Amino acid sequence: MAAADDCKRIPNILVLFDASGFMKEKSRWEFFLQQMDLFVQAMPLTADGFFNVGVRHYGLKVGLGCENTESILAIQPWDPERFLNAFPKTVSYGVSSLSAGLRASGDEVASVEGKSAILLIGGGIESCNAEPVKVSEQMCRNNPDLEIHTFQIGNAPEGNFFLRAIAERGRGTYNRLEDVKSSAMWHAWMKKNLVMPCAGPTQQGSSQTGQAVGPVVFDSKGFSVRSRDPVVDATNLQNLNAVAQILLRNPSARVVLHGFSDPKGNPEFNLKLSRKRAEAVAQYLIGTHHIPSSQIGILAHGPTQMSPQSSVAPVQSGARRVEFEISY
Report the alpha-carbon distance of residue 151 to residue 163 in Å, rounded.
8
Whether 161 maps to a domain, the answer reads: yes
Same domain, yes or no, for 287 and 319?
Answer: yes
| Share above pLDDT 70 across residues of the chain, in percent, rounded to a whole number | 87
Q: Of 193, 226, 255, which residue sits at a domain end?
A: 193
Same domain, yes or no, for 124 and 228?
Answer: no
Residue 315: pLDDT band by 50, 70, 90 thresholds?
Answer: very low
Cβ distance 185 to 39 under 8 Å? Answer: no
Residue 189: pLDDT band by 50, 70, 90 thresholds?
Answer: very high
Residue 286: pLDDT band by 50, 70, 90 thresholds?
Answer: very high
Same domain, yes or no, for 49 and 185?
Answer: yes
Q: Is the pLDDT of residue 305 over 70?
A: no
Same domain, yes or no, for 16 and 141?
Answer: yes
Same domain, yes or no, for 163 and 265?
Answer: no
Whether 54 maps to a domain, the answer reads: yes
Position 307 scores a pLDDT of 61
Q: Which residue, among 40, 55, 9, 59, has the nearest Cα to 171 in the 3D structure?
A: 9
pLDDT in tens, 199-214: 443 333 333 444 468 9
Same domain, yes or no, for 168 and 297?
Answer: no
Q: Is the pLDDT of residue 215 over 80?
A: yes
Average pLDDT rounded to a whole number, residues 173-199:
86
Report the alpha-carbon distance of residue 267 to residue 176 in Å, rounded.
20
Residue 62: pLDDT band by 50, 70, 90 thresholds?
Answer: low
Whether 207 maps to a domain, the answer reads: no
Report the alpha-carbon distance of residue 304 to residue 309 in Å, rounded.
14
Whether 201 maps to a domain, the answer reads: no
Position 209 scores a pLDDT of 43
Considering just the CA atoms, what is the radius of gyration of the chain in Å? 21
Same domain, yes or no, for 16 and 160?
Answer: yes
Whether 198 maps to a domain, the answer reads: no
Whether 315 maps to a domain, the answer reads: yes
CATH classification at residue 159: 3.40.50.410
Whether 202 maps to a domain, the answer reads: no
Report the alpha-carbon distance of residue 70 to residue 139 in Å, rounded.
18
Q: Provide the phi-psi class of 124: left if phi over 0, else alpha when psi is between -120 and 50, else beta.
A: left
Average pLDDT rounded to a whole number, residues 191-198:
76
Query: Best-predicted range by mean pLDDT among 62-71, 240-249, 266-275?
Result: 240-249
Same domain, yes or no, for 179 and 260?
Answer: no
Q: Is the pLDDT of residue 159 over 80?
A: yes
Give the distance, in angstroms, between the CA of residue 81 and the centroid of all CA atoms in the same chain: 16
Task: Report how far apart, in Å, the C-alpha atoms of 28 and of each of 37, 52, 186, 271, 317 are.
Answer: 14, 27, 18, 23, 38
Same domain, yes or no, for 221 and 189?
Answer: no
Report the SS3 class of residue 217.
Answer: strand
**Which domain does 157 fall in, by range?**
4-193
Position 3 scores a pLDDT of 40
Residue 4: pLDDT band by 50, 70, 90 thresholds?
Answer: very low
Question: How many domains are there within the chain?
Answer: 2
Q: Is the pLDDT of residue 7 over 70?
A: no
CATH classification at residue 249: 3.30.1330.60
Same domain, yes or no, for 90 and 21?
Answer: yes
Same domain, yes or no, for 227 and 168?
Answer: no
Report the alpha-carbon distance of residue 198 to residue 102 in Å, rounded.
32
Q: Is the pLDDT of residue 1 over 70?
A: no
List, in order, residues 6 or more apart from 219 with CB less than 8 Å away: 227, 228, 229, 320
Same domain, yes or no, for 227 and 284?
Answer: yes
pLDDT in tens, 263-282: 888 888 998 999 999 999 99
Whether 185 maps to a domain, the answer reads: yes
pLDDT in tens, 32-47: 999 999 999 988 777 6
